[in-house]
Structure 1
């Protein structure tokens, strides 16, 4: 298999989610469940173009207009505006350091990412 050869050549480790263990990647599991419940189970697609259009519309709504509990029930667009304007999260009203936008990568991940970037 091409991916196996490439990953061995560049010493990239594969990490799989164990069957029946979706919480090993809870963010993806949550997103997939929402997309399945709100779009895929509710929509009859009439062709590939219709599916692509409906999915693009749903993703745009999810990423911009829908309030998210993890953002203090703000929309992602509103949260991004606050971050851009103030440099900190609106949830940090106590004067403490702003919450990180993303947490640091686990040890070893950065080197693997740099190897992937260098490999092109």
Structure 2
């Protein structure tokens, strides 16, 4: 992914939901370059980078990425971009509903 793509997505999210206070990112070139830094400056967003080689710093997104791959991407062969977007969006909605349901349940202790 290129920094230009990251900024494009961030701008779309700002239009839909407003700017976040923080952006947590890994140390990929698409996040550490001047373009994303400039975007963050203009939107008053603080970028917090994970420590290199420490996936536990970003456990939630690592879990999400694993679930996306295991539950969606590995199960489908996409014929075109429209189909890929449709199936991934359907999976994302289901994932978010499932996560909300699980968070609303009281924890079970033994």
Q: Which runs of 5+ in 2 are unaligned?
A: 1-33
Residue 92 (structure 2) aligns with = 59
TM-score, structure 2 length as denominator? 0.51
Aligned to 1:42: 75
- Residue-pair matches, total: 74
Identify the structure with bigger relative contact order (alpha carbons < 8 Å, sequence gap 6+). 2
SS for the counterpart of 1:14 is strand
Instruction: Give the counterpart of 1:31 among 64, 76, 85.
Output: 64
> Would you tell me which structure has more helix in proportion to its own residues?
2
2:50 counterpart of 1:17: yes
CA positional deviation for 1:11? 6.5
RMSD of aligned Cα (Å): 3.0
**Matched residue, 1:87:** none
Larger radius of gyration: 1
Residues 102-117 of structure 1 aligned to structure 2 (within 5 Å): none
Q: Would you tell me which structure has more strand in proportion to its own residues?
A: 2
1:11/1:37 CA distance change after superposition, 3 Å: same
Q: Which runs of 5+ in 1 are unaligned?
A: 73-90, 93-120
Partner of 1:112: none
Q: Give 1:8 shift.
A: 4.9
Describe the shift of the 1:64–1:4 C-alpha distance in structure 2 as closer, same or farther (beyond 3 A): closer
CA distance in 2, matches of 1:60, 1:24: 25
User: Do the aligned partners of residues 10 and 52 (structure 1) sit closer, same or farther apart at CA in structure 2, a change above 3 Å counting?
Assistant: closer
TM-score, length-scaled by structure 1: 0.47
Matches of 2:40 and 2:77, distance apart in 1:
38
